[in-house]
Amino acid sequence: MELYNDILKAIMNEITNDDGSVAKPTRVQLRSNLAYDKLARYLDELESKKMILQNPLMITEKGRDFLQDYDRISNFVLEMGIKYLDIPPDELRGV
């Protein structure tokens, strides 16, 4: 799920930074830090789950919903670790 999140965020960032409605696969590859063959496989998976369109490369509403839900869950887990497990926030964020 984390890889899906990274790829979807990379697509979203490319779309918003480029002021266009599509992202370029090479730039998404660099932002998500994946080998191109692995990225291609994950893009196929994301398209089969209807989270992206590949031609042209853009995120769908379902993909945007995934990003929102993932962020919500990540923030919840972070708060739970700080509140109940006495884990410092930096440790939970992987810093």
Using alpha carbons only, how large is the chain's radius of gyration in Å? 15
Q: Residue length, the chain?
A: 95
20-44 tens-digit pLDDT: 667 889 999 999 999 999 999 999 9
Amino acid code (one letter) for 10: A
Phi and psi angles of residue 94, each rounded to the nearest 5 degrees, phi first: 80, 20
Share of the chain above pLDDT 70, in %: 82
Q: What is the pLDDT of residue 5?
A: 95
30 phi and psi, to 5 degrees? -65, -40
CA distances (Å), origin 17, targets 9, 13, 68, 69:
12, 6, 19, 22
Structure tokens at 71: 């962020």
Greater model confidence, 70 or 85: 70
Domains of the chain (ranges, CATH numbers): 2-92 (1.10.10.10)
Selected residue with higher pLDDT from 79 and 55: 55
pLDDT at 74: 87
pTM as predicted: 0.80
